[in-house]
Amino acid sequence: MSARTGHGMAPGMTSMVEATIARRRSEGGGALIGYLPVGFPTLSESIDAAVAIANSGVDILELGLPYTDPVMDGPVIQAATQQALANGFRLRHGIEAVAAITAQVNVPVLVMTYWNPILQYGVDRFADDLLAVGGAGLITPDLIPDDSAAWVAASTRTGLDRVFLAAPSSSDDRLRQAVDASRGFVYAVSTMGITGARGDVDSAARVLVDRLRAAGSTSACVGLGISTPEQVREILAYADGAIVGSALVKALSDGGVSAVAALARDLAAGARDIRPTS
C-alpha cells in the first residue's frame, strides 16, 4: 500500500505514522490515536501515562504542548494544560518528553501544538530538535496550509509529518489543499466545535471522510468527541484512524496512570477486527 505523500517530500522517506495506519487498516481495523498533554499532572507522570497507553494498544501518540490560549480545546484539556503551565511547563519539556517516550516504546509520537510556541522556539530549530529525539511530526490546530510556508519547508527538509485539519465546513478546494499539504494523516474534525467527549459523534464525520477520500486521501483520521470503544469501532468502519483526547485526559486526571491505561485497552479493543481483511 502506498500512502499519499505531500508535495515536495524527499523520495524514499516513509512516514512511520502512515505506515502504522496502513498496517492497522490491512489487518481489518484502524489506528487508535491517543492524545495526552505534556506536563499533566506532572512531567514524569505525563511521560509514564503516554508510555502506558502506548503499551495498552494506542497505535500513535499525540502529545499536546500546553499553551496559554488554546482556542480549539474544551474544558477538560484546558484545565489539564493550564495546570501544566502553572507547574512550570517549558517547551524543552516537550522535547524531553518525546525523547523519554521514544526511548521506551516504538509507537510514532506526533506533537500537537498551537503555532506561536513553535514560532518563538524557531520553526527549524524545533523541527531539528524533534527529529533528533525520534518525534514523528506536528499536528497544528491553528495553522492552515495557506499560512504554513515556513513549516512546510522545515518538515520537507526533515521528513517530519505535518498534520493539517479538515472541517465539515471546509470547501472541496480546501479539503484537497489539506490532503495535498498533509503527511502522516489528515485530521478530520468530526463536528463543528472544540475538544471534549460527546454522546454522539456527528454523522458529519462520515460525510467528511468520504469527501476527503474523493479529494485523494488514503489516511483520514477522525477526532473530536470520541470517548468510547463503541465510537471508535463506529468511526473505524469508514475512517483510517480514531483520535481520543479528552476522555483519556479525564481518566488520567481521575484515576492516574492505571486508569488511563485501562481506558486505552478498552478503546483499542474497539479498533481491531472491524472489517474482514481483504
Nearer of residues 147 and 200 to another protein, judged by Cβ: 147
**What is d(CA 105, CA 122) in angstroms, rounded to the nearest whole number?**
28
Angle, to 10 degrees, between the axis of helix 172-181 and the axis of helix 204-214? 70
169 is a contact residue toward another protein (CB under 8 A) = yes
Nearer of residues 122 and 216 to another protein, judged by Cβ: 122
Total number of residues that touch another protein (CB under 8 A)? 39
90 is a contact residue toward another protein (CB under 8 A) = yes
Q: Which window, 37-45, 54-62, 168-176, 199-207, contacts another protein (CB under 8 A)?
A: 168-176
Q: Which residues ranging from 105 to 124 are in contact with another protein (CB under 8 A)?
A: 115-121
Binding another protein (rule: CB under 8 A), the pick from 125, 147, 210, 230 is 147
Match 508535495 to its residue by C-alpha cell: 7
Binding another protein (rule: CB under 8 A), the pick from 4, 157, 174, 272 is 174
Binding another protein (rule: CB under 8 A), the pick from 7, 12, 69, 276 is 69
**What is d(CA 48, CA 229) in angstroms, rounded to the nearest whole number?**
22
User: What's the count of helices (H) and strands (E) in the chain, helices before strands?
Assistant: 11, 9
Q: How far is the CB of 147 from another protein (least distance, A)?
A: 5
Q: How far is the CB of 120 from another protein (least distance, A)?
A: 3
Q: Do the Cβ atoms of 204 and 166 come closer than 8 Å?
A: no
Query: Cα 204 to the chain's mean position, in Å?
Result: 20
Enzyme catalytic residues: 62, 73
Nearer of residues 5 and 114 to another protein, judged by Cβ: 114
What does DSSP say about strands 31-37 and 241-244: parallel, antiparallel, or unpaired?
parallel
As given in the structure block, the three cell numbers for residue 194 are 472544540
- For residue 101, give Cα distances in angstroms to 68, 184, 260: 24, 19, 16
Residue among 206, 270, 199, 197 at smallest CA distance from 233:
270
Nearer of residues 200 and 273 to another protein, judged by Cβ: 200
203 is a contact residue toward another protein (CB under 8 A) = no
**What is d(CA 225, CA 188) in angstroms, rounded to the nearest whole number?**
12
178 is a contact residue toward another protein (CB under 8 A) = yes
85 is a contact residue toward another protein (CB under 8 A) = yes
Q: Which window, 13-21, 45-53, 78-86, 153-161, contacts another protein (CB under 8 A)?
A: 78-86
144 is a contact residue toward another protein (CB under 8 A) = yes
Which residues are CB-neighbours of 118 under 8 A, at least 6 positions away? 126, 138, 140, 151
Binding stretches for another protein (CB under 8 A): 67-72, 74, 78, 82, 85, 90-91, 115-121, 141-144, 146-147, 164-171, 174, 178, 189, 192-194
